[in-house]
């Protein structure tokens, strides 16, 4: 039997049939604790009754009409989202990459309006912004780009969390119009910048007349213990992109903008057939309602502290554990060696985790995680990490 699917993914050998809350079940009836939430997507967990009911109701009346017409559910979501984010306007697409594409186009058009012929966007090393041509060009990871040259031009790259490098770029280039940056790098290894990084970046953007564009696709929607991660810092971006957790698994992306940035894209300058359709918007609205009614954002902050503290206790005597860091339920455990095989071992043990940047165990559990599930997560994973670190690393060939 040949595989009908293009080989774009290295999939784990498991098929899930259903879920409930933080639990998933496979075809054999084995139960798994989901500490990844479909990569920060299902923040309300699986089969949340409010999401289920809203989707069933919406599917029973209207799924799609196109943006040729008014869409009440889109306007309603836009009103809610811009108010919560302190932004003025929003464009809806269907994914994170599309949200960033909108931001990139917006920045370029803004540059042209200001008379800059070849506008450039400042981006970071180790960043991740998506897999479309423009967003992979913005991404700071050669593995994502290799083979797809020529890349899209107009990106200037500096190290993350390095304001000196930003100042140097500001002094040397007149073509920069915007900065695109993750408040915390997710794919890059749960990299948390210094507390004054975003505020000082904001100040540089103000001084230079650059747009500050935050990619909150992974950090947004309560994940870090605030609805949006930048709200930990008190600054306000000019542009913010969202996707992953926005509609709990129904595809959606959003590009929000404020002030002058909110009026850059006009009729005919951008669009999407599916973007902001009634089904996706209804799902996102119910996610926002539920985050609030169930107090899940504060819960993410509390649970995150609990998870970090428990791991620090459980792994205190492990010199192979380099760092345990995170904000809310976006948590990284960095080891002193590559540890991709832990993903398969955790799967065996009924636990879904991820490893990113070779040696960082990434945890993105749902915000509805319960106390006994925190204990289970920490116990199971700490045991696996201790056993993994006790196994001597295979000798390099010829060494
Ligand atoms: C996942 C992610 C993206 C890309 O989102 P897609 O929906 O996969 O296109 C972009 N930026 C960040 C920070 C992400 O985590």
- Cα(129) to centroid of ligand 1, in Å? 5
CA distance 216 to 210: 18
Is the distance from CB of 342 to CB of 324 less than 8 angstroms?
A: no
Q: Which atom of ligand 1 sits closest to the CA of residue 95? A: 7
Tell me the pLDDT tens digit for each residue of 301-351. Answer: 999 999 999 999 999 999 999 999 999 999 999 999 999 999 999 999 999
Residues with beta carbon inside 6 Å of ligand 1?
A: 95-97, 100, 128-130, 182, 186-187, 215, 217-218, 243-244
Class (C level, CATH) for 16-48+295-390: alpha beta
**Opening angle at CA 37, ends 31 and 38, nearest 5:** 100
* CATH 3.40.640.10 boundaries in the chain: 51-293
Tell me the pLDDT tens digit for each residue of 77-103. Answer: 999 999 999 999 999 999 999 999 999
pLDDT value at residue 396: 67
Q: Which atom of ligand 1 sits closest to the CA of residue 100? A: 10
**Opening angle at CA 146, ends 396 and 353, nearest 5:** 60
Is the distance from CB of 160 to CB of 124 less than 8 angstroms?
A: yes
Give CATH for domain 51-293.
3.40.640.10
Catalytic annotation present for 128 = yes
* Given the residues 92, 128, 228, 388, the one annotated as active site: 128
DSSP symbol at 209: T
pLDDT at residue 397 greater than cutoff 80: no
Tell me the pLDDT tens digit for each residue of 32-51. Answer: 999 999 999 999 999 999 99
* Given the residues 92, 215, 308, 388, the one annotated as active site: 215
* CATH 3.90.1150.10 boundaries in the chain: 16-48+295-390
- Cα(218) to centroid of ligand 1, in Å? 7
> What is the secondary structure of 371-394 as a DSSP string?
HHHHHHHHHHHHHHHHHHHHSPPP
Catalytic annotation present for 215 = yes
Q: Which atom of ligand 1 sits closest to the CA of residue 182? A: 13
pLDDT value at residue 399: 42
pTM as predicted: 0.97
The rounded percent of the chain whose pLDDT value lies above 70 is 98
- Cα(319) to centroid of ligand 1, in Å? 33
């Amino acid at each position: 039997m040949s595989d009908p699917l293009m080989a774009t993914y290295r999939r784990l050998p498991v098929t899930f049939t259903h879920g409930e809350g933080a639990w998933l079940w496979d075809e054999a009836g084995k139960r798994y604790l989901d500490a990844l939430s479909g990569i920060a997507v299902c923040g309300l967990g699986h089969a949340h009754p409010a999401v289920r009911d809203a989707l069933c109701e919406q599917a029973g009346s209207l799924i799609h009409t196109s943006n040729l017409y008014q869409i009440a559910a889109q306007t309603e979501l836009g009103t809610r989202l811009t108010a919560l984010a302190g932004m003025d306007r929003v464009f809806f697409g269907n994914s994170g990459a599309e949200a960033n594409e909108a931001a990139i186009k917006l920045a370029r058009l803004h540059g042209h309006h200001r008379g800059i012929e070849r506008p450039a966007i400042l981006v970071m090393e180790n960043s991740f912004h998506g897999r479309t041509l423009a967003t992979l060009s913005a991404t700071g990871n050669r593995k994502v780009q290799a083979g797809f040259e020529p890349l899209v031009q107009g990106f200037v790259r500096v190290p993350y969390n390095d304001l000196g490098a930003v100042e140097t770029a500001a002094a040397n280039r007149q073509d920069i119009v915007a900065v695109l940056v993750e408040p915390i790098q997710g794919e890059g290894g749960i990299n948390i910048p210094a507390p004054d990084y975003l505020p000082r970046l904001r100040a540089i953007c103000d001084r230079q007349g650059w747009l500050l564009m935050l990619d909150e696709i992974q950090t947004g929607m309560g994940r870090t213990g605030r609805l949006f991660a930048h709200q930990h810092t008190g600054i306000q971006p000019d542009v913010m992109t969202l996707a992953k957790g926005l509609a709990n698994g129904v595809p959606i992306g959003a590009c929000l903008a404020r002030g002058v940035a909110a009026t850059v894209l006009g009729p005919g300058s951008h669009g999407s057939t599916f973007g902001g359709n009634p089904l996706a918007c209804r799902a996102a609205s119910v996610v926002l309602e539920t985050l609030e009614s169930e107090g899940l954002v504060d819960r993410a902050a509390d649970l995150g502290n609990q998870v970090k503290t428990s791991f620090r206790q459980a792994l205190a005597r492990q010199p192979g554990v380099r760092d345990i860091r995170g904000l809310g339920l976006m948590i990284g455990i960095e080891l002193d060696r590559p540890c991709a095989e832990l993903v398969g071992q955790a799967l065996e043990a009924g636990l879904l985790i991820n490893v990113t940047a070779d040696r960082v165990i990434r945890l993105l559990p749902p915000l509805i995680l319960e106390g006994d599930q925190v204990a289970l997560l920490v116990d199971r994973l700490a045991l696996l990490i201790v056993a993994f670190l006790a196994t001597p690393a295979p000798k390099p060939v010829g060494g």
